[in-house]
Chains A and B, each alone.
Chain A
Amino acid sequence: MAEFLQQVVEGLGAGAIYAGLALALVLIYRFTGVVNFAQGELAMFSTYIAWQFMAGGMAFWLALPLTLAVSFVGGMLIERVIIRPVEGAPELTVVIVTVGLFIFVNAAAGWIWSFLIKDFPSPFPAGSAQAGALTVSYSTLGNLAVVAVVMGALYLLFQHTKIGLGMRGVAADPRSARLVGIRVGWMLALGWGLAALVGAVSGVLVAPLLFLEPNMMGGVLLYAFAAATLGGFDSPVGAVVGGLIVGVAETLAGAYVGFIGSDLKVGVPLAIILAALLLRPQGLFGRAAVRQ
């Protein structure tokens, strides 16, 4: 039993990271109706920026806010420059553009920083806390705490600020939002900026576990997609819950299903996506879309 609980805790730690990226995906989907296939790569790029700052001798806790600021501005720029021209275009067009962005960002990172793996320091101390028979590493606790903080900050932003109200207005009905004087374009850009910021957080959390390299986020993106699909693509709470479930499911499947082992774990998100789409296409917390 202790062994089982231990696995669950490990899973939650991994799930926190997936939840972070899933949250970024959901933010963009909610505000712009775009699923950003480049989200993972943007997070990877942000992580490289953080690495660059630290390579220049900066302390982690100074590099982090700088990176987040750069990511936020970068995300807004991408929305304004790259996504704006195809806004309102068919899904196919938008998906292809974000796939183009995916390829470009991935290769650009390889060009700038090479494809060699780099060490990335963990922001959390190395030890672990003991709770009865359970050993919880500080990095697992840290990941969970960070995701909780991000979630809380987003909640405050959306529910208790004027900007958040504007963004919710845009998500609900862009035309009416424009009529009451909300600058829809800026709100959409803001959504992308926020998503890039949240993605950067998840990238910084992933990097110490997986090593920093341009293809670092490829697998994580798939788990995040599974998390967002399971939780519902338009629900931030769903993204976090979905992320935790995916993390736990993946860890348990790897540990207890002999056939899956560690190499076929990547089949778990595929199974979760398929199951979610077949049984509850709108996700656990999502609203069902009505088709006219």
Chain B
Amino acid sequence: MSERSERGPARPSLVAPVADEGDHVSEPSDGRAGLPGQAAEASAGARGWRGALVARWRGIAVVALLAVAIYAPFELVPFRVFQFTMVLVYAVALIGLNLLVGHAGQISLGHGAFFAVGAYTTAIMFDRWDVPYPLTLPAAAALAFVLGWAFGLPAVRLHGLYLALVTLAIAIFLVPLLKRFESVTGGSMGLTLAKPAPPAWTGLAPDQWLYFLALAVTVVAVLLARNLLRSRVGRAMRAVRDNEAAAEVMGVRLAFYKTLAFAWSAMFAGAAGCVYTWVIGFVSPDSFAVTLSITLLAGLVVGGLGSPAGPLLGGLFVMFVPSLSQDVNEAAPGVVFGLLIIAVMYVAPTGLAGLAGRAARTIGRTLRRE
């Protein structure tokens, strides 16, 4: 025990150096910290100017990305549209996981369970009561939020490791539990459901309609997460992540915010699960085995912990890396995932998003020098 106390009570956070959303503007320019007074002032002036530029370019990039995302389904074959729909589904779940792991500094190895809760809530509402599909989204999200809150309560007492243990145990336990309540969940056979059909006025094909539903949910999730992080709650979460003791002294209620982070994060996963059911039209317990939870965490780590682009990159990763590497060998996705996670932790703790940001800054610096 004393060994760990040697490492100090104030544990530096892994994700601390990652600029959080909105912080990019004030990011210190590297290597200039030691400059004498005047030069430092000049650089501070330049930083503001550069910050505005970065913000504008970011805005343009986001709009361009959205335009491409809206145009893409009209150009791609239905199978590709389906794949990108799944990318969005994973991205929504990863936005939630990013809140928890990247911003609140807690770990979950069981987010697949909340994903499953959302998926099954939707499926059962369809199956039992023929609820119109738009209504299943808030229900699934709300139930996941409540369950997240309930399981987040013990999380208050657990940190790091124990939370990982408990969430892992939940993810493992969920599969036999779903199989047991056969009358409701359909047991191992699962439930097959009708997919939401496109309204006639849109003139869209079914796969395109599902894509746009997923895109809409993703956009809402991104905005929600962004606003959440900029709010009092977001600041409190980051304070807890960076230094629990300091946060507590400053009046942040640790227990409350940790639980809240867990609940919010579960809510996003539940919403993603709901869209998953819309898109796939089928749920079965084995789709939500513990592998899903671990894959989600892997995707987020590779995509970029604590960065706004991380979940989307992670979603692409989770969707395409297995399907590409599966051709090599059944086990190849696991090998690639495992090696990448370890490699990312060593060389680029900010993931692909961090690498992209670093590359952009290097290019920008080179351009300015010329």
Contacts and interface: CB of A to CB of B under 8 A. Distances in A.
Contact of B165 (A89, A102, A229, A264): A229
A85 B342 CA distance: 10
A86 interface: yes
Contacts of A173: 2-3, 6
Given A92-B101, A100-B345, A266-B176, A105 B169 contact: no
Nearest to A175: B6
A93 B349 contact: yes
A99 B341 contact: yes
Interface residues on A, range: 35 or more
A111 B177 contact: no
Q: Considering residues A90, A269, A291, which has the most beta carbons from chain B within 10 angstroms of its beta carbon? A: A90
Interface string B295-335: 00110010000000000000000000000000001111111
Given A110-B330, A222-B169, A292 B5 contact: yes
A269 B2 contact: no
Interface stretch (B7-15, B33-41, B121-129, B362-370): B7-15
A267 interface: yes
A119 interface: no
A292 B9 contact: yes
Interface stretch (A1-9, A130-138, A157-165, A272-280): A272-280
A258 B341 CA distance: 42
B18 to A, nearest CB: 12
Contacts of A219: 172
Contacts of A110: 330-331, 334
Interface in A99-133: 99-111, 115
A274 B294 contact: no
B337 A103 contact: yes
Which of A174, A175, A218, A277 has the most C-beta atoms of chain B within 10 angstroms of its own C-beta?
A: A277
Nearest to A31: B3
A95 B160 contact: yes
A97 B342 contact: yes
A263 B177 CA distance: 8
A51 interface: no
Main secondary structure of the interface of A (DSSP, over half): helix
A160 B12 CA distance: 38
A172 interface: yes
A114 to B, nearest CB: 8
A92 B14 contact: yes
B176 A90 contact: no
B177 A267 contact: yes
Interface string B346-370: 1001000000000000000000000
A277 B158 contact: yes
Contacts of A292: 5, 9
B6 A82 contact: no
A244 B11 CA distance: 35
Interface residues of B, number: 57
Contacts of A22: none
A88 B172 CA distance: 29
Contact of A264 (B15, B164, B180, B337): B180
B267 to A, nearest CB: 22
B177 A107 contact: no
Given A95-B107, A106-B334, A264-B177, A290 B5 contact: yes
Contact of A278 (B157, B168, B330, B337): B157
A33 interface: yes
B290 interface: yes
A226 B162 CA distance: 11
Interface of A: 33, 35, 37, 82, 85-86, 88-93, 95-97, 99-111, 115, 170-175, 218-219, 222, 225-226, 229, 234, 263-264, 266-267, 269-270, 273-274, 277-278, 281, 287, 289-292
18 contacts: A35-B161, A91-B161, A92-B105, A93-B14, A95-B107, A95-B164, A99-B109, A100-B301, A100-B338, A107-B337, A111-B329, A111-B331, A115-B330, A263-B179, A270-B166, A273-B166, A273-B169, A277-B154
